[in-house]
Structure 1
Amino acid sequence: MPLALYALTVGAFGIGVTEFVIMGLLLQVSGDLGVSVPAAGMLITAYALGVFVGAPVLTLATRRLPRKSTLLMLMGIFTIGNLACALAPTYEALMAARLVTALAHGTFFGVGSVLAAQLVAPDKRASAIALMFSGLTLATLAGVPLGAWIGLAFGWRSTFLAVTVIGGLALAALVIFVPRDKVKEDLAPLAEELAVLRRPQVLLALLTTVFGFGSVFAVISYIQPMLVDLAGFSKAAVSPILLVFGGGLFIGNIAGGKLADRWPVGALLGTVAALAVSLGLMTFAVHSQFWAVVFTGLLGLTAFATVAPLQIRVLEQAGGAGQGLASSLNIAAFNLGNALGAGLGGYVIDHGPGLEALPMTGAFLTLAGLGVAAASLAVGRRPAAIAA
């Protein structure tokens, strides 16, 4: 694989740490800033909404810039935003800083996915995208547990300072390894790019992502209180358990990419169905320490096995001039799903049956995504059947 792909992976690692590390710090943040756990969970929802808004807006705003310049600018915003998080004096200031940081997220992965797919042969595109997204899995495997430990030992602000340093390192990797555009590409008219939004299959693919992946955040956003209050673990045990989750993410991400290279449709349906099953069964595991750990890892595996199939589905349905925008919109869709899941999870905790109902809530969300995917495939086959 080209070295530029590994530079993108480093950038994905930095972004992944800042997105996911807050999950291991909810109790510390809520205690320090004097807010409830669901209110602290809104920092996850707000970040996801920031990605949802920032992805299409910044993609269109930077469409005339070289890809390398765009990636460097985005990583700069990300790094400054994390420094602001570390220095935030109030809950409101932290919320604002998280929003600023989130603006760079969607466009980075959108531009990066298109670049990754173009750097390799057509039959390796899903694996190239999976390699870039492995930065997220490595962030969860190593960065998030370490960040949670730093937050427990030295305070949550120290975690965000550490992420700021990671952002600087990622910026350096992008400068060194990502080549500048050798040939200036002909820029398609804006109307041609926006036309992708009128394609029903693209919209159905995006909706599949929202529901199919949103379930993950209904659970993982509140994994610390679930492990502490339901399974009976100490706060110090959460960081090692997050290593298990990260290991599952890593394996699932690579497996999903390889499956999507060979059987894109089968991988899409199979991975989303597997995620629904793992969430449903997790409902019965959360009160057992052993099974809670097992299903935390299984959740990571099945969750990130869906990423490459979902992203490839959108790219295939977009095609041509609309791929860059569609790719960013799918990252936005992932994060709209994250916001939906985290917000729904907070509602279930505050106004519903509580923490133990979160996995089943997520399972129903995933089943909705599976239904949308099946409908999309049925609609796609209809013209072929009519033509025959």
Structure 2
Amino acid sequence: MSRNKSSFIIFILAFGIFGIVNTEMGFIGILPRLAERFDISLSQAGLLVSLFALAVAISGLFMPLLLSGINSKKLMLIAMGLFTISGFVSIYAPSFEVLLVARIIPAFLHPVFFSVAFVAAANSVSEDYVARAISRILMGSSAGMVIGSPIAALLADVLSLQASLYFFAIVNVIAFISIMIFVPSMPVKEKLTYGSQLGVLRKPVVWNSIITMILLNAGMYATFSFFAEFLDGITGMNGSQISVMLFIFGATGLIGNLISGFLLQKRAMRTALVFPIIYGIVYLLVFVLGDYSIPMTLLIALWGTLYTIGLNICQNSITTAAFEAPTFANGLFVALGNMGIALGTFVGGAVITDFGTRSIIWIGILFMILSFVFIAVRAFRYSPKKVQA
């Protein structure tokens, strides 16, 4: 496959990821409008986000494994088709219950699309460029996080709630058509048995990677989940300023994806070892300079860059440990990443309640220290040669 063609396919796969994450995260920006439309509380409307994430976390443990023998293109079309149908059902949902069901059903194929897209991207390039291809796929996820919620909120404010729901559906329609036309058939060349794929769980290095991934995600989300509250309560920013900070965080995350592709291609283990140290230093600076807007703006730009590098490290960690079962490994990446998010958010919320908003920084640092320990164990026990790479 030529480089131009493989790059175009990777772009389409990234756009598909964008469509799914856009649908997932975009609802955050319109929850108040949805609560008003269906005459429910904001906490009830929040089920549209929390139950979606729960479905992703659960299904990521088994759905990619169960469907691993099906043509990758067919799986992506099925997943994107479900998200498209869900999008149009959401527009005309007569009740909150119907909307909730329409949200949850496609969520079970969320990790399937991610898993297959990662494998398809890796197979479309030479081995030396796999890390860079994966980082470009993850740019779709970052773009979905940056663009989804602000655009949905803007459309709901300027036009209508239905306009923002149409936005989700139309993006997925475009992704579906693009995959159908431009992505070649991707039959499974060698179907792995369920036993052989689950067999990777017997490897200690896989469990090391699983724990590392959970701890890293917990360390990032123990603070990021309360990003707006920190900027409001500690830095003293208003709503519009916080929106700008969120955009900066997401935009620099796109840069982080590009950087991580290069770093993981050249110096994967060294990058993983250094990452929690640098992230911890940024946390310390946020703790010290959190009261000042200008330093925080600069730190947020660095924070966003590091955040997506961390996601790439997690993906690289589990897929290199369980390389024999790439689809299953990527499913674990999605599922356990969500578990780490849940752990970090839960612990961060509990600490804020007892010790105040600024205290979440220390929880983030604690998780980073723990993740460094497990990364170091892998580096020096399971792949000592890579540390010198």
Of 12, 16, 25, which residue of structure 2 is paired with 1:11?
A: 16
Q: 1:76 to 1:219 in 2, by over 3 A?
A: farther
Contact 1:10/1:173 (CA < 8 Å) preserved in 2?
Answer: no
Matched, 1:220 2:220: no
Task: Measure, in 2, the Cα distance between the counterparts of 1:275 and 1:26.
Answer: 31
Task: Measure, in 2, the Cα distance between the counterparts of 1:295 and 1:312.
Answer: 26
Of 113, 120, 129, which residue of structure 2 is paired with 1:115?
A: 120
Aligned residues, how many?
379
| CA-CA distance at 1:82 after TM superposition | 4.3
| CA-CA distance at 1:79 after TM superposition | 3.0
- Map 1:223-302 onto structure 2 (within 5 A): 223-302=227-306
Of 303, 307, 332, which residue of structure 2 is paired with 1:329?
A: 332
Task: Measure, in 2, the Cα distance between the counterparts of 1:153 and 1:109.
Answer: 32
Amino acid of the residue matched to residue 225 of structure 2? Answer: S
Q: 1:82 to 1:229 in 2, by over 3 A?
A: farther
Amino acid of the residue matched to residue 367 of structure 1? Answer: I
Post-superposition Cα deviations, 1:133-169, rounded to whole Å, max 9, x if no partner, equal 1111222343443234334545666534422221112
* Structure 2 residue matching 1:284: 3-state secondary structure: helix
Question: 59-68 or 215-224: which moved more?
Answer: 215-224
Task: Measure, in 2, the Cα distance between the counterparts of 1:88 and 1:277.
Answer: 47
TM-score w.r.t. structure 2 length? 0.85
| CA-CA distance at 1:227 after TM superposition | 3.3
Question: 250-259 or 139-148: which moved more?
Answer: 139-148
Task: Measure, in 1, the Cα distance between the counterparts of 2:103 and 2:139.
Answer: 23
| CA-CA distance at 1:355 after TM superposition | 3.3
Aligned to 2:41: 34
Q: 1:225 to 1:256 in 2, by over 3 A?
A: same
Aligned to 1:57: 62
Q: 1:99 to 1:372 in 2, by over 3 A?
A: farther
Structure 1: stretches of 5+ with no match in the other structure? none
| CA-CA distance at 1:121 after TM superposition | 0.7
Task: Measure, in 1, the Cα distance between the counterparts of 2:289 and 2:267.
Answer: 32
Of 319, 323, 331, which residue of structure 1 is paired with 2:323?
A: 319
* Structure 1 residue matching 2:288: 3-state secondary structure: coil
Amino acid of the residue matched to residue 358 of structure 1? Answer: I
Aligned to 2:342: 339
Aligned to 1:146: 151
Task: Measure, in 2, the Cα distance between the counterparts of 1:44 and 1:358.
Answer: 23
Amino acid of the residue matched to residue 258 of structure 1? Answer: F
Q: 1:249 to 1:175 in 2, by over 3 A?
A: same
Q: 1:85 to 1:213 in 2, by over 3 A?
A: farther
Question: 280-289 or 240-249: which moved more?
Answer: 280-289
Contact 1:7/1:174 (CA < 8 Å) preserved in 2?
Answer: yes
TM-score w.r.t. structure 1 length? 0.86
Of 71, 74, 81, which residue of structure 2 is paired with 1:76?
A: 81
Post-superposition Cα deviations, 1:234-279, rounded to whole Å, max 9, x if no partner, equal 3233333222111210111110111000011011122233223323
Task: Measure, in 1, the Cα distance between the counterparts of 2:104 and 2:354.
Answer: 28
Task: Measure, in 2, the Cα distance between the counterparts of 1:51 and 1:97.
Answer: 14
RMSD: 3.0
Q: 1:44 to 1:348 in 2, by over 3 A?
A: farther
Contact 1:28/1:155 (CA < 8 Å) preserved in 2?
Answer: no
* Structure 2 residue matching 1:337: 3-state secondary structure: helix
Task: Measure, in 2, the Cα distance between the counterparts of 1:19 and 1:255.
Answer: 25
* Structure 2 residue matching 1:283: 3-state secondary structure: helix
Matched, 1:66 2:68: no
Amino acid of the residue matched to residue 372 of structure 1? Answer: F
Task: Measure, in 2, the Cα distance between the counterparts of 1:277 and 1:174.
Answer: 42
Task: Measure, in 1, the Cα distance between the counterparts of 2:320 and 2:279.
Answer: 23
Post-superposition Cα deviations, 1:346-365, rounded to whole Å, max 9, x if no partner, equal 3344x323433333322322
Task: Measure, in 1, the Cα distance between the counterparts of 2:26 and 2:341.
Answer: 14
Amino acid of the residue matched to residue 135 of structure 1? Answer: G
| CA-CA distance at 1:45 after TM superposition | 4.3
Matched, 1:171 2:173: no
